Amino acid sequence: MSLEEYRSFHRRSIEEPEAFWSEQAAAVDWNRRWDEVRDYSRPPFVRWFAGGETNLCHNAVDRHLQERGEQTALAYVSTETGERAEYTYRELYAEVNAFAAALRGLGVGKGERVIIYMPMMPEAIFAMLACVRLGAIHSVVFGGFAAHNLAKRIDDAKPKVLITADAGMRGGSVVRYKPLVDEALDASRHPPEKVVVCHRGIDEEMPVDEGRDLDYSGLRQEHAGEEIPAEWVESSHPSYILYTSGTTGPPKGVQRDTGGYAVALVSSMKHIFASEPGETMFTASDIGWVVGHSYIVYAPLMYGMTSIVYEGLPIRPDPGIWWKIVEDYGVNTMFTSPTAIRALRKQDPKYMREHNTSSLRNLFLAGEPLDEPTSRWASESLGVTVRDNYWQTETGWPILSSLLPGLEDEPVVPGSAGFAVYGYDLKLVHEESGEEVGPGERGVLAIKPPLPPGCMSTVWGDDKRFVDTYFSDFPGDELYSTFDWATRREDGRYFIMGRSDDVINVAGHRLGTREIEEAISDHPDVAEAAAVGVKDEYKGQVVAAYVVPKESAPAGEELEESIKEIVAQRIGRIARPEIVRFVGALPKTRSGKLLRRSIQALAEGRETGDLSTIEDPAALEEIKAATPQSR
Ligand code: AMP
């Protein structure tokens, strides 16, 4: 195949979506065939495979039993606890059924929500699969998020049950989970009735609420050997909610369907990740992020692969650990973030050469811009092709990819995340007019609805917010905004140039400015704060906070430290500001809107744009003065 052939593959997905997607859907098991491939009677909402019935857990587990019952489904490696474990598809089936039986015993049924707040351990994946088996809706909350953040998600999802662990470990230090859960439950208005705890034996002092907390090992014993039939659900039945941050308001619950997601993921394993059933995939991410949902759990399992589940850092016990895993398990396809590779690049190159990584064909990187030196370093030291791909929590699978059918031999162009993925009708439009821009011109990347299978179906519990947030950015035709700047070359290659809103991306993790500002403003000595993302060599961006202290407050090192700490405590350590600067006022428009982009420009030593709407120009001067390149 060639680029020309891929173009016609893509064109067909847009012009004949029914035929195209029903062919892709043949790779998924259905209990009942759909009535309509695409129901777009209520734009911009779309229902893929309407009337069809399927189940993600059936597709990820049950359907492989006959052909691959003895194949390893999950290989678990923890360099934190030293544990390694393997589960065949048959063993996975037993574990998931026991977990599903336990949850059912606690009253979890179709449509009920379950929050999973866990470190990277196999039980977290059993729990996710058990939920979808029952038709329940899981919401995994990243284990690095603090109690306050967890409480917000609990109140939005109103779960029946919360599943957690006693503790996780990071870099050899114990991270206690259960006390955080207790704190979150105390702070929430809709605490779940029961908390299931997977006790790993790390935290012997773990607090227990006798009436509410249940030890999973007891439940597992009680339900061992039980088989719970997979609940067939209509294709658009929600499979999960995953919260993500935006510029305004509380985190949004990205709601995913069932059938469309299954089809998109299975087809992506073949067409984007160029993998085969029976092969091994290692996605070094966390189940708390969308990459973990899609490419640690659902896609590789539904496709019949072996998925590596890794708990630990990329540099411990030494920076060769990932390549050792590649060698030990014969990994064929790997997926991680540019930040992780940049962390490895700082280390002695000898670690790259110590292991035989010849089984590896492609290294996929996503989540943040991939810089050329990192890409070149990885491909040269590993002898693999590095494949940039671009997507969002909202889409669930890639929007742009540098590997697609026909592009195997196309040169990888550094800085480009690749071509439009089939199913996505992309438009590059002017920020204000919504008119399409030409090749080489900068625009906001938009998707002409309906969104393809696999993408979010709505914001959990708030259809209006879905439309208002994503489909109301441009005048004229209704378009989904990615809120990312991009350019496109004549040949169809896209280059992503950062967010058009104020979202901050630290090490591939998305953080909302508003949440950080709210946390800082809760500090008793703070009058006001602005948070912006500032370029960083390793993490892509770091958080910089410009803070107006209360008049009586001493602006000094102590206050700086306690501001950093309050953010870490309220949101999680990934949001901890790297830079805190004190100023007398923040620059705002006459209508009182913070001029975050101007602040960000100054913080990065760039010129500010048009400032005709500014209320108080002196405030900008102050920001400039507070930003000597002194980091
Ligand atoms: P998240 O929803 O947390 O995965 O964050 C999605 C955002 O990460 C996108 O809107 C982009 O701003 C950024 N992003 C993801 N992948 C890439 C990539 N390959 N290149 C540049 N930016 C990316």
Kindly state the greatest CA–CA separation across the chain. 72
pLDDT of residue 631 exceeding 60, the answer is no
Q: Is the peptide bond before 44 cis (omega within 30 degrees of 0)?
A: yes
* The pLDDT value given to residue 368: 92
Average pLDDT, the chain: 94
Q: Let me know if 419 is exposed, middle or buried by CB neighbors in 10 A (0-12, 13-18, 19+).
A: buried
Task: Compute the C-alpha angle 224/229/235, nearest 5°.
Answer: 135
Place of tokens 């997507």: 391
Nearest CA to ligand 1 atom 7: 392
Q: How many CB atoms lie within 10 A of CB 72?
A: 18
Q: What is the pLDDT of residue 592?
A: 77
pLDDT band at 350 (very low <50, low <70, confident <90, very high): confident
- 353 CA to centre of ligand 1 in angstroms: 30
pTM over 0.75: yes
Residue 390 in contact with ligand 1 by CB distance below 6 A: yes
Interval between CA 484 and ligand 1 midpoint (Å):
8
Note whether 407 and 10 are within 8 A (CB).
Answer: no
Which pLDDT score is estimated for 630? 42
Q: Which of 255-264, 412-421, 490-499 has the highest mean pLDDT?
A: 255-264
Cα(257)–Cα(273) distance, integer angstroms: 22
Mutate to test the pocket of ligand 1, among 444, 459, 496, 535 (most ligand atoms within 8 A of CB): 496
Q: Compute the residue count for the chain.
A: 631
Lookup: tokens for 366 = 């996503």
**C-beta of residue 329 within 8 angstroms of C-beta of residue 280:** yes
**pLDDT per residue as tens digits for the range 512-531:** 888 899 899 989 999 999 99
Helix axes 122-134, 89-105, angle to 10 degrees: 60
574: left (phi over 0), alpha (psi -120 to 50) or beta: alpha
Residues of the chain above pLDDT 70, percent: 98
Tell me, what's the pLDDT at 621?
84
Mean pLDDT of 232-252: 90
Does position 615 have pLDDT exceeding 80, yes or no?
Answer: no
**Coil vs helix vs strand at 115:** strand
Contact yes or no for 618/593 (Cβ under 8 A): no
The CA-based dihedral angle spanning residues 5, 8, 13, 17, taken in that order and rounded to the nearest 10 degrees:
-130
Task: Measure Cα distances from 501 to 78, 149, 447 in Å.
Answer: 37, 22, 17
Neighbours of 227 (CB within 10 A): 11
Catalogue all structural domains in the chain, each as residue range(s) with its CATH number: 2-443 (3.40.50.12780), 503-630 (3.30.300.30)
Give the residue among 471, 479, 289, 301 at the shortest CA–CA distance from 393.
Answer: 289
Alpha carbon of residue 42 to chain centroid = 28
Q: Fill in the DSSP letter of residue 418.
A: B
Question: Of ligand 1's atoms, which has the minimum distance to the CA of residue 503?
Answer: 12
Distance of CA 520 from the midpoint of ligand 1 (Å): 25
Q: Sheet containing 280-283: which strands, arranged edge to edge?
A: 84-88, 72-78, 306-311, 280-283, 333-336, 362-365, 385-390, 400-401, 419-420
Which tens digit of pLDDT belongs to each residue from 426-479?
999 999 999 999 999 999 999 999 999 999 999 999 999 999 999 999 988 899
| Coil/strand/helix, residue 502 | coil
